[in-house]
Amino acid sequence: MPYAHALAALADPTRRAVFERLRAGPISVGDIAAELPVSRPAVSQHLKVLKDAGLVRHEAAGTRRLYEVDPRGLGELRSWLDRFWTEALDAFKAEAERQSHHRPRKRSR
C-alpha cells in the first residue's frame, strides 16, 4: 500500500513529536533535541525514518542542515484517501440510481 510508510512512520509518538517540531518551519537536529527529551542521535534516527517515508526533507543552510515538512509525504496519504472516496462514491452513485430507478418514491422510517 503506497500510504503505508507514512502511516507507520507517524504511529510512533516520539516520532510524531519530532514531526510536529517541523511545523513552525525548517529546524536543525540540535534545536529539535533541545525541545524534546530525546538525544540528538535519536532525533536523527527519527528524521531518517520520516525522510524515508517521504514526510520530511532537508536543505543545507551554510554548515547546518535544516529539516522541514515534505508536503509530498502527506500527499501520499491524501492520494490514498482520494481513491478511497472515489470508490465509496461510485458505490453510492450506483445505489442512489438503482433505488431511484426501482423505487422513485422510497421513504425511510
Binding segment for another protein (CB under 8 A), chosen from 16-24, 32-40, 41-49, 59-67, is 16-24
Binding segment for another protein (CB under 8 A), chosen from 22-30, 33-41, 58-66, is 22-30
Say if residues 56 and 74 touch (Cβ distance below 8 Å).
Answer: no
Say if residues 33 and 21 touch (Cβ distance below 8 Å).
Answer: no
Distance in angstroms (rounded) separating the CA atoms of residues 82 and 94: 18
Q: Closest separation between CB of residue 2 and another protein, Å?
A: 14
Q: Closest separation between CB of residue 48 and another protein, Å?
A: 17
Query: Rule CB under 8 A: is residue 47 a binding residue for another protein?
Result: no
Residue number, 41 or 90, with CB nearest to another protein: 90
Residue number, 48 or 98, with CB nearest to another protein: 98
Helices marked H in 1-109 — which ranges?
A: 4-11, 13-21, 29-35, 40-52, 71-102
Q: Closest separation between CB of residue 71 and another protein, Å?
A: 7
Contacts of 85 (CB under 8 A, 6+ apart): none
Cell 518551519 -> residue: 25
Q: Which of 2, 35, 59, 94 binds another protein (CB under 8 A)?
A: 94
